[in-house]
A and B are shown apart, each in its own frame.
Chain A
């Protein structure tokens, strides 16, 4: 294997010295809103919205600066301060602005800003709106730390920060027990992944003596095969937790308990893609381990089918989108696992997915807003007249995700499917089938929500959302449409130095047999959904069914049942046994000691008989004994 070329970041100059402001702005917003409390109730949400916009503007300026540089100088290191200094360890905190991280910065701050704007309308009547915006800002800051860090340990700070923000926001409506439970579940499942992440970082520190990207990249060539495999698998475990991939997928569907803008920003567009970022960033490790790379591909493929299956069976609009998110991230991870040929495609799909999925989630929020927070698609129907803007923007997002020609999903997903075919035919076929299933469940969602007959509950009068909510929808829809066209020819060449990939010749009108068959499958999925849900109409209550496929899908493919049977119940049993052992062995032992001492005291207290003269006798006897001992001591 040829040793990898290590990209040494160039020193920061000019505006790059201000890169820390990208993180500091939203962080300051969160601090002001949380510390100043009710003082900021009136204008806090506006301040919080300005912060990510400020970061976005700075991100664009830096991006333009990078565009103007030559290829070798596009990775800029911004050292900040010494993070840890203890014994022989020196760990510096710094930022790395390169081709990969700047794209994430733009996605996070761009989509994040739009979602902040949308939330002004969506959360207008919530009494705790200021707190919501503070948490959103906190999330943006943590996510930016995650993608801008130049060191896995600093990355981990952001990694935990987004976990915290995600927890706070899923459980934002904490008065609902389901939301509080969902937040805890997300936190606990994420801890499992974080364990993998922590162990991977420890392994890096032990192997390379450093966790900085440059040192890991430089040392990756010399490490043993087993170490590389273990490190890769641990990183994959971390990625699975954050990105809701099998086997740590169970939290994402419940996370939909959070307010819808949160689902759009955190649980669709940005945070859940952190796992993909991690795998792409750690490409030097995965290049040296066939086993871990294959594991990434397998996890991605399994999850893309898993999520699609769940998406087909759910009647809750947000859960369909959540299943779809799992599935799309599965595509990204699959691409990232393929290796240098797939990294750029993974990031490409990540960006386009960020656009169209945020768009659709916000559209779903707009629908819920109109339907009095009902999420049951069987209660929708015929909303295209009532919500024309939402329908139009959602429809464009829909066309983008199913891969309608020339929309963004068409390019990004086709690249992944083709790369999968080149990697392994089985994986390619499965990815292709996933594309067909995606078309099926998304068409089902469209038919049940916007088309067909109205099945609204009594007293519901849907109305279009205010402009502050529809404008972000329009912007995101536009990005979903043109994102693919704009990025297609450019992104591979742009990312190639950062992910050490060789750029392919990409064309806007490329048409291969694989693409043709994929399109046929997509058309088949759409047609099948039309036959089942468009022509026949949708009953208002879910039809009872004996089909094991539907039943399994409705129960999230038994993910929770599996966790309960394998981890929860044996865990509870173990705790019960340990508790009993503690009670009988440890507690019993100490109780017995206490009982013995109490019994002795019962005997001893008889000495306290109340007669002063007997006490005097005791004292005299004691003094006599001391005197005898002294005298004998002298004599001896």
Chain B
């Protein structure tokens, strides 16, 4: 197994996630981009774990998954309630918290 393929895939996924987060306005899409970045990280962790023959990376990826699941619960709830009050899921419209 050649780890570099997986790492390149992980980097590509992360880049798509990061760029997507910066360019897309829809909160749901931005949220999916965040998930994409987290999973890209997971892929990298698991790859390295496999390459070194150690379990540390695998364990860490479980933690990331737990955090991601919790984040989804809170994040989606926020997005839904913003949509209900403002009739919009655009992150650019939710810009009241500023100077």
Using a CB–CB cutoff of 8 Å, the interface residues on chain A facing chain B are 605-606, 608-613, 616-617, 620
Asked whether, in the complex, the Cβ of A616 is within 8 Å of the Cβ of B92, the reply is no
Asked whether, in the complex, the Cβ of B95 is within 8 Å of the Cβ of A609, the reply is yes
- Complex Cα distance A612/B82, Å? 14
Asked whether, in the complex, the Cβ of A610 is within 8 Å of the Cβ of B22, the reply is no
Cβ-closest chain A residue relative to B25: A613
**Which residues of the partner chain A approach B92 to less than 8 Å between Cβ atoms?**
611-613
Asked whether, in the complex, the Cβ of A609 is within 8 Å of the Cβ of B21, the reply is no
Give per-residue flags for B56-99: 1 if the beta carbon is below 8 A from chain A beta carbons, else 0.
00000000000000000000000000000000000110111111
**Which residues of the partner chain B approach A610 to less than 8 Å between Cβ atoms?**
95-99
Cβ-closest chain A residue relative to B91: A612
Asked whether, in the complex, the Cβ of B91 is within 8 Å of the Cβ of A613, the reply is yes
Asked whether, in the complex, the Cβ of B98 is within 8 Å of the Cβ of A613, the reply is no
Complex partner residue of A617 from B22, B30, B99, CB under 8 angstroms: B22
Number of interface residues of B (CB under 8 A): 14
For the residues of A in contact with B, the DSSP-based class is: helix
Query: Could you show 16 A-B contacts with beta carbons less than 8 Å apart?
Result: A608-B98, A608-B99, A609-B98, A610-B96, A610-B99, A611-B91, A611-B92, A612-B91, A612-B95, A613-B22, A613-B23, A613-B30, A616-B21, A617-B22, A620-B18, A620-B22
Asked whether, in the complex, the Cβ of B98 is within 8 Å of the Cβ of A612, the reply is no
Q: How many A-B Cβ pairs are below 8 Å? A: 33
Cβ-closest chain A residue relative to B94: A612
- Complex Cα distance A605/B97, Å? 12
Instruction: Give the 8 A-B CB pairs with smallest separation, nearest first.
Output: A610-B98, A610-B95, A605-B99, A612-B91, A608-B99, A616-B22, A608-B98, A616-B21
Cβ-closest chain A residue relative to B18: A620
- Complex Cα distance A606/B18, Å? 24
Inter-chain pairs besides A608-B99, A613-B23, A613-B30, 15 sampled, C-beta below 8 Å? A609-B95, A609-B98, A610-B97, A610-B99, A611-B92, A611-B95, A612-B30, A612-B91, A612-B95, A613-B21, A613-B22, A613-B25, A616-B18, A616-B22, A617-B22
Which residues of chain B (4-47) have a CB below 8 Å from chain A? 18, 21-23, 25, 30
**Which residues of the partner chain B approach A613 to less than 8 Å between Cβ atoms?**
21-23, 25, 30, 91-92
**Which residues of the partner chain A approach B94 to less than 8 Å between Cβ atoms?**
612
B50 to chain A, nearest CB (A): 24
**Which residues of the partner chain B approach A611 to less than 8 Å between Cβ atoms?**
91-92, 95
- Complex Cα distance A616/B30, Å? 11
**Which residues of the partner chain A approach B96 to less than 8 Å between Cβ atoms?**
610
Chain A CB count within 10 A is highest, among B18, B22, B92, B94, for B22
- Complex Cα distance A616/B21, Å? 8
Complex partner residue of B99 from A609, A616, A620, CB under 8 angstroms: A609
- Complex Cα distance A58/B18, Å? 97
- Complex Cα distance A620/B25, Å? 17
